[in-house]
């Protein structure tokens, strides 16, 4: 019988979790702060991941469609590969941005967020979900 990889969601963290042939990382929401914050930080294994990254920008609890400019920077091995920007108040953009993503084997993945809003209830979150394929 083949050994199965099993993961249980316990809480948001900055790492990558694996469940069977699926992978996910969920940062949880960050409080309002204009300083850059690390949302996800992990190294992929000897496999590649085909999936999606979803970024939620700053959100005000009483007006969920409003918020100010927020941007997530996605880095692979220290090099920027994507910027996901939201601006629910000034530019009428959605408060959620997403992109398809392929994470190569043995890659250091880091996602940071910066926001222009200091009074938002939640500054942002990042979620990566995908399927694992052997390298």
Kindly list the domain boundaries of the chain, sorted by start residue: 24-134
pLDDT at 129: 96
Number of C-alpha atoms within 13 angstroms, CB side, residue 124?
41
Q: CA 128 to CA 26: how far, in whole Å?
A: 7
124 SS3 class: strand
Q: Are 99 and 23 in contact (CB under 8 A)?
A: no
User: Which two three-digit tokens encode residue 66?
Assistant: 């409003």
pTM of the model: 0.81
CATH of domain 24-134: 2.60.120.40
Q: Cβ distance 96 to 53 under 8 Å?
A: no
DSSP class of residue 92? -
User: Mean pLDDT, consecutive 10-residue segments, the chain of 135 residues?
Assistant: 54 80 87 78 95 85 63 95 82 82 96 77 82 89
């Amino acid at each position: 019988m083949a050994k199965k990889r099993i993961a249980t969601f316990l809480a948001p963290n900055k790492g990558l979790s694996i469940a069977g042939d699926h992978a996910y990382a969920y940062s949880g929401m960050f409080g309002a702060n204009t300083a850059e914050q690390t949302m996800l930080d992990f190294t992929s294994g000897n496999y590649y991941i085909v999936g999606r990254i979803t970024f939620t920008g700053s959100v005000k609890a009483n007006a969920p469609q409003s918020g100010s400019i927020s941007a997530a920077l996605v880095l692979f091995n220290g090099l920027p590969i994507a910027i996901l920007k939201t601006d629910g108040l000034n530019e009428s953009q959605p408060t959620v941005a997403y992109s398809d993503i392929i994470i190569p084997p043995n890659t250091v993945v880091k996602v940071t967020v910066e926001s222009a809003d200091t009074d938002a209830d939640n500054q942002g979150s990042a979620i990566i979900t995908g399927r694992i394929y052997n390298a």
